[in-house]
């Protein structure tokens, strides 16, 4: 594991994780998904979390997103300890501060693109207009389409719009291109990059595709439940420059 | 067990809530069918057995007084098998422990039980009368039990003006009085009316009836015409004050039993049909969902080489196992329910032996029907599974396509929240399923409404009969017509506040080829103690001329207002008169014909008489009056309105409570099964969406709203529909359950609707909660990884 990033303290840490471990009991086998992970994420960063399957990257994302609780260690969100939060507080945390983008989009099939976003903006505190969010992801002309009428890439862009519409402080993307072809995947990454750049949302992209790392400010690699690499890119590539 | 069998069992275990709900619906249907069929058969068989064994007569006749040698003449009428003559008299009784007078019907029996007699006695307790002991009587079981009397007790009666002490030696029952009710009344009052069998010799001497009889009954030879025999009897006894001969269909007790059996028959068809329909629906939606979620597994099974038949049978198992479980439970429940119902019948009806026959034929039929329904319900879904090519089954089901619907008009959209739109779109997407769900829930509502309707109808019947129609306290019926002078002596009794007399005259009413034995009631007025009130509580005026017929009687005679009918007076001068039908009245109970007493006297062609009096009495002087009545000569029977009402309330309370309880529980099962399965299927279809919403920050409450709102909306839509179906069903019931004896008024209390509303909402809430608990267990992490 490498040392703390040298710019710590210069930027605000949105998330501070210290000594985080997660042990699952799979039947009678104990699985250590995370082992004493300590890491910080800073405002406006676009971080790519790399790792093979079983490296613990999803577990980390789930704990960061308030979907799971660690076995050990602490997680602070703006200095507030989230590992001690109640179920209701975790719900409120997800509602206000976290934007999720799933691998399989998880749109509500009975709601149009616009309504899928309104579903979130209706319960958020100071969201952007749902239409504005759709325009941001380039789907201003597909507002009233239902998920079944949209391509996979379009659905994922709706999902991104849904995630960012509430202006979250943290955007968590779990294998956002995992279910998409190359071209469409790139298009989606462009949207994520744009959101990060234009809105300044701290963005975590989980992937097993190392080629995507090029678009990040910072690349964190996980292996066997530990951070094996934490580096900064000298320059971010645009998604269109990525090749895989 | 093969592997598919194991798979089936484990998955049934996983789906046990839904499967139990289906099984419960099947069980309800089977139990109703089995119990009602058994009850119907048991009643019929018990009646048959009772009638045969105790030689219940086929034709009956009451006369004023006829010489005994006519017995011989009657037995020579072609078609007559055996004849029995008797002396029957109604007398006033002084029952120990009872303030008010009771009425006893004395029936003569031979002193020696050597030859078989008709309408024979079944001695339940004690013994038959002994020869040479005129004071000995056998008394009817309900009367003895209601008054806590046993053989050995004594009771005094006023027979022909003389007070006589009777010794009860036995407790008996007769096929003539399976439904034991006082003449002129419709509801039994066990405490104040009893039948007594007494030595013929004793009664002959007490009533000066030596060598004569006033009651005749006979059995018909096989294939004989009842009509012909009745005609011959009427001719033969016209001059002896015959009231007209009649068959079993006009014998009150038999009439009640026959009606009861017919009513049970109606219930056999209706309720099980509802439950079967719901079972078909539930199995259909549950199986469709199972097949949909197991597309991949179906593909794998087929790829592994399982045949279409094996796959089909496997999925049919999901329908057959709960049906089998429901059949077993339903049969057991039905056997128990049938026995309980028979116990209630045993309170109402006095059979020598009320045998409960549990027939496996009924079980077999209902189980067969249920399996047929299950296969029908499962067929569509299983066919889907069988026909699915493996390669296609491997692919996920094509995405659900939603399109803007009627609710998507911009004006409407703004008013509907996004979560509510999810609910509405789901309903809009499968309108048939939604409509059927609404229909099924509404059936539960309808069963509740119709179940309580009979309760309301009886309440209304009681209110009309006891409160609106009759305002008297006591009715005194005389054995013979009394001259007007008696009126004054009654009116002057201490404690009589109001009095009103009426004349009841037996006639034969004839219109064309239609004829009916009927008594005409001549009233002094219809504004005093007795009023004319129809089943909708409307008061009808007594016409000054002509006759007012109840609608049912007018229907039987085929006449309407403005027509004429011929009245053939059966007694006195036996006048024949044409009379105008002045109107009809839709009364609740029985068949009646009303006239002004003056008009009746004129038509009868005599100086006028009356044979009964309505009295309103002063409460404080009641006991004095009662003891006057107990000693008054010529009094045939005395009816106490209040006592009659109390006795009826008591009688009806138990049976109504039981049937309401049964129907309410069944309706609850129905509502629960439909709502719970609906919600479970929604949950299974939408678990992923709902979990995503949880991840996006929605609270449990918000996603519960989306999941359960649909069921809530269906339930709310089902309520008014259920009310409408319930009313329609009640209307059918009111027609089906009505007979010449009574017509159920179509009335509903607000409480009925409120009760149905509360029960269904409560049951829906409980089933919704049961499903909501499953929402808590949804794995938020899993959903991010899986694709449906």
Q: What is the pLDDT of residues B480-520, one digit of tens each?
A: 788 877 777 888 888 899 889 999 999 999 999 999 989 99
The single residue listed with the structure tokens 């890491």 is A39
Q: How many CB pairs under 8 A join A and B?
A: 96
Distances B434 to B427, B430, B714 between C-alpha atoms, Å: 6, 6, 7
Average pLDDT, chain B: 89
Q: B496-617, what's its fold?
A: Barwin-like endoglucanases (2.40.40)
Report, as an integer, the average pLDDT of A134-152: 90
**CB-based contact B692 A112, cutoff 8 Å:** no
Give the per-residue pLDDT at B193.
93
Question: B167 φ, ψ to 5°?
Answer: -110, 120
Residues in chain B closer than 8 A to A70 (CB atoms): none
Report percent pLDDT > 70 for chain B. Answer: 97
Best to test chain A binding among B402, B405, B422, B697 (most A CBs inside 10 Å) = B697
With b for 16 or more beta-carbon neighbours within 10 A and e for fewer, the A143-162 pattern comes to bebbbebbebbbbbbbbbbb
Give the per-residue pLDDT at B107.
96
The single residue listed with the structure tokens 């999925």 is B315
Give the per-residue pLDDT at B138.
97
Residues in chain B closer than 8 A to A174 (CB atoms): 784
Question: B572 φ, ψ to 5°?
Answer: 65, -125
B426 touches A: beta carbon within 8 Å: yes
Beta strands in A113-240 (DSSP E): 170-174, 202-207, 218-223, 226-232
Q: How confident is residue B785, by pLDDT bands cut at 50, 70 and 90?
A: low
Report, as an integer, the average pLDDT of B440-462: 89
Residues in chain B closer than 8 A to A102 (CB atoms): 692, 695, 783-784
Report, as an integer, the average pLDDT of A124-137: 90
Residues of chain B with CATH 2.40.40: 496-617
Give the per-residue pLDDT at A1.
37
Give the other-Cβ count within 10 Å of B787's Cβ: 11
Cα–Cα distance between B747 and B727 in angstroms, integer? 9
Check pLDDT > 80 for residue B396.
Answer: no
Residue-wise pLDDT tens digits, B569-612: 988 888 899 999 999 999 988 899 999 999 999 998 887 788 88
Sign of torsion over alpha carbons B535, B536, B539, B544: negative
Long-range contacts from B684-691, C-beta under 8 angstroms, 24+ separation: B684/B289, B684/B293, B685/B289, B687/B778, B687/B783, B688/A106, B688/B783, B688/B786, B688/B788, B689/A106, B689/A108, B689/A109, B690/B775, B690/B778, B691/B778, B691/B779, B691/B780, B691/B782, B691/B783
**CB-based contact A111 B418, cutoff 8 Å:** yes
- Decide: helix, strand or coil at residue A147: helix
Q: How confident is residue B399, by pLDDT bands cut at 50, 70 and 90?
A: low
Give the other-Cβ count within 10 Å of B64's Cβ: 15
Identify whether the C-beta of residue B407 lies closer than 8 Å to the C-beta of residue B425: yes
> Residue B476 is encoded by which pair of tokens?
């005194």
Q: How confident is residue B552, by pLDDT bands cut at 50, 70 and 90?
A: very high
Check pLDDT > 80 for residue B183.
Answer: no
Partners of residue A40 on adjacent β-strands: A16
Q: Which range is least confidently modeled, A161-165, B163-167, B393-397, B453-457?
A: B393-397
Q: Apex CA B251: angle with CA B247 and CA B255, to 5°?
A: 110
**CB-based contact B697 A91, cutoff 8 Å:** yes
Chain B nearest CA to A196, separation (Å) = 19
- Decide: helix, strand or coil at residue B745: coil
Give the other-Cβ count within 10 Å of B213's Cβ: 24
Distances A170 to A88, A174, A238, B768 between C-alpha atoms, Å: 19, 13, 21, 35
Give the per-residue pLDDT at A2.
40
Report, as an integer, the average pLDDT of B661-688: 88
- Classify domain A43-68+88-241 at the CATH superfamily level: P-loop containing nucleotide triphosphate hydrolases (3.40.50.300)
Give the per-residue pLDDT at B60.
96
Report percent pLDDT > 90 for chain B. Answer: 47
Q: How confident is residue A154, by pLDDT bands cut at 50, 70 and 90?
A: very high
Report percent pLDDT > 90 for chain A. Answer: 48
Which chain B residue shows the shortest CA-CA distance from A116? B418
Give the per-residue pLDDT at B397.
65
Q: How confident is residue B784, by pLDDT bands cut at 50, 70 and 90?
A: low
B399, B425, B785: residue with CB nearest A148: B399
**CB-based contact A92 B697, cutoff 8 Å:** yes
More confident residue, B643 or B118: B118
Give the per-residue pLDDT at A9.
43
Residues in chain A closer than 8 A to B400 (CB atoms): 109-110, 148
Q: How confident is residue B750, by pLDDT bands cut at 50, 70 and 90?
A: very high
Residues in chain A closer than 8 A to B421 (CB atoms): 110-111, 115
Report, as an integer, the average pLDDT of A37-51: 94
Sequence ranges of the domains in chain A:
43-68+88-241
Distances A130 to A92, A104, B2, B534 between C-alpha atoms, Å: 20, 21, 55, 67
**CB-based contact A108 B693, cutoff 8 Å:** yes
């Amino acid at each position: 594991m490498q040392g703390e990033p040298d710019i710590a303290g210069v930027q605000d840490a949105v998330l501070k994780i210290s000594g985080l471990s997660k042990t699952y009991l799979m039947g009678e086998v104990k699985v250590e998904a995370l082992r004493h992970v300590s890491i910080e994420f800073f405002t406006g960063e676009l971080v790519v979390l790399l790792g093979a399957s079983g490296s613990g990257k999803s577990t980390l994302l789930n704990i960061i997103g308030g979907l799971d609780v660690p076995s050990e260690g602490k997680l602070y969100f703006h200095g507030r300890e989230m590992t001690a939060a109640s179920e209701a507080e975790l719900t409120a945390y997800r509602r206000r501060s976290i934007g999720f983008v799933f691998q399989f989009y998880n749109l509500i099939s009975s709601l149009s693109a616009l309504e899928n976003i309104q579903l979130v903006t209706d319960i958020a505190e100071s969201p952007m207009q749902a239409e504005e969010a759709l325009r941001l992801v380039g789907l201003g002309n597909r507002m009233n389409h239902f998920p079944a009428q949209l391509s996979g890439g379009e659905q994922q862009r709706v999902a991104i719009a849904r995630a960012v519409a509430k202006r979250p402080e943290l955007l968590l993307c779990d294998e956002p291109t995992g279910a998409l072809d190359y071209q469409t995947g790139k298009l989606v990454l462009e949207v994520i990059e744009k959101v990060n750049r234009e809105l300044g949302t701290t963005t975590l992209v989980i992937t097993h595709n190392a080629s995507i790392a090029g678009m990040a400010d910072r690349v964190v690699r996980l292996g066997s439940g530990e951070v094996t690499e934490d580096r900064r890119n000298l320059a971010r590539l645009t998604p269109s420059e990525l090749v895989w | 067990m093969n592997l598919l069998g194991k798979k089936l069992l484990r998955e049934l275990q996983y789906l046990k809530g839904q499967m139990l709900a289906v099984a419960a619906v099947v069980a309800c249907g089977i139990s109703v069918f089995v119990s009602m069929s058994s009850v119907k058969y048991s009643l019929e068989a018990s009646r048959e057995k009772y009638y045969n064994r105790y030689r219940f007569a086929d034709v009956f006749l009451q006369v004023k007084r006829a010489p005994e040698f006519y017995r011989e003449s009657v037995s020579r009428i072609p078609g007559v098998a055996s004849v029995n003559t008797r002396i029957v008299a109604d007398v006033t009784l002084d029952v120990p422990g009872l303030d008010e007078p009771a009425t006893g019907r004395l029936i003569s029996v031979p002193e020696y039980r050597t030859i078989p007699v008709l309408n024979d006695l079944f001695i339940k307790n004690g013994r038959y009368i002994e020869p040479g002991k005129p004071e000995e009587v056998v008394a009817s079981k309900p009367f003895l039990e209601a008054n806590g009397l046993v053989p050995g007790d004594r009771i005094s009666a006023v027979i022909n003006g003389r007070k006589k002490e009777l010794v009860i030696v036995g407790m008996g029952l007769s096929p003539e009085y399976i439904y034991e009710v006082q003449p002129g009344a419709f509801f039994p009052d066990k405490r104040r009316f009893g039948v007594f069998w007494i030595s013929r010799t004793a009664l002959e001497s007490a009533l000066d009836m030596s060598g004569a009889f006033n009651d005749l009954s006979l059995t018909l030879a096989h294939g004989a015409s009842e009509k012909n025999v009745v005609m011959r009897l009427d001719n033969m006894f016209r001059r002896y004050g015959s009231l007209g001969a009649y068959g079993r269909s006009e014998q009150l007790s038999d009439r009640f039993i026959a009606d009861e059996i017919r009513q049970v028959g109606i219930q056999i068809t209706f309720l099980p049909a509802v439950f079967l329909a719901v079972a078909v629906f539930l199995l259909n939606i549950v199986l469709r969902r199972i097949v949909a979620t197991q597309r991949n597994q179906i593909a794998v099974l087929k790829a592994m080489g399982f045949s279409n038949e094996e796959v089909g049978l496997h999925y049919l198992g999901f329908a057959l196992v709960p049906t089998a479980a429901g059949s077993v439970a339903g049969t057991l429940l039905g056997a128990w329910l049938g026995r309980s119902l028979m116990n209630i019948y045993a309170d109402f009806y006095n059979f020598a032996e009320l045998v409960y026959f549990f027939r496996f034929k009924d079980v077999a039929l209902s189980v067969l029907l249920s399996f047929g329904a299950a296969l029908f319900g499962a067929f569509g879904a299983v066919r889907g599974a069988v026909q699915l090519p493996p390669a296609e089954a491997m692919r996920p089901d094509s995405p659900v396509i939603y399109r803007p619907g009627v609710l998507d008009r911009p004006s409407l959209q703004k008013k509907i929240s996004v979560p509510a739109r999810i609910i509405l779109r789901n309903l809009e997407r499968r309108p048939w399923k939604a409509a059927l769900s609404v229909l099924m829930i509404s059936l539960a509502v309808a069963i509740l409404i119709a179940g309580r309707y009979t309760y309301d109808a009886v309440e209304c019947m009681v209110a009309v009969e006891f409160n609106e129609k009759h305002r008297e306290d006591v009715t005194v019926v005389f054995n013979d017509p009394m001259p007007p002078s008696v009126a004054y002596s009654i009116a002057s009794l201490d404690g009589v506040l109001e009095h009103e007399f009426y004349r009841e005259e037996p006639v034969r009413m004839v219109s064309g080829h239609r004829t009916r034995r009927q008594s005409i009631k001549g009233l002094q007025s219809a504004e005093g103690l007795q009023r004319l009130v129809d089943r909708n509580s409307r008061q009808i005026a007594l016409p000054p001329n002509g006759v007012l017929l109840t609608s049912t009687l007018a229907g039987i005679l085929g006449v309407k207002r403005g027509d004429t009918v011929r009245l053939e007076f059966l007694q006195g001068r036996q006048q024949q008169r044409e009379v105008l039908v002045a109107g009809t009245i839709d009364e609740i109970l029985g068949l009646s014909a009303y006239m002004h007493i003056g008009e009746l006297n004129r038509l009868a062609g005599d100086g006028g008489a009356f044979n009964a009096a309505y009295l309103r009495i002063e409460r404080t002087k009641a006991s004095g009056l009662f003891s006057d009545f107990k000693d008054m000569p010529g009094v045939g029977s005395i009816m106490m309105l209040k006592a009659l009402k109390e006795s009826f309330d008591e009688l009806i309370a138990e049976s109504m409570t039981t049937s309401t309880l049964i129907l309410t529980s069944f309706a609850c099962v129905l509502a629960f099964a439909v709502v719970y399965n609906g919600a479970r299927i929604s949950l299974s279809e939408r678990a992923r969406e709902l979990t995503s919403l949880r991840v996006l920050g929605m609270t449990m409450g918000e996603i519960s709203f989306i999941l359960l709102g649909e069921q809530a909306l269906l339930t709310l839509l089902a309520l008014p529909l259920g009310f409408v179906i319930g009313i329609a069903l009640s209307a059918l019931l009111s027609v089906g359950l009505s007979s010449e004896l009574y017509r159920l008024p179509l009335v509903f209390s607000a409480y009925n609707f409120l009760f149905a509303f509360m029960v269904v909402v409560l049951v829906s809430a409980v089933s919704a909660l049961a499903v909501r608990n499953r929402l808590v267990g949804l794995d938020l992490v899993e959903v991010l990884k899986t694709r449906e």
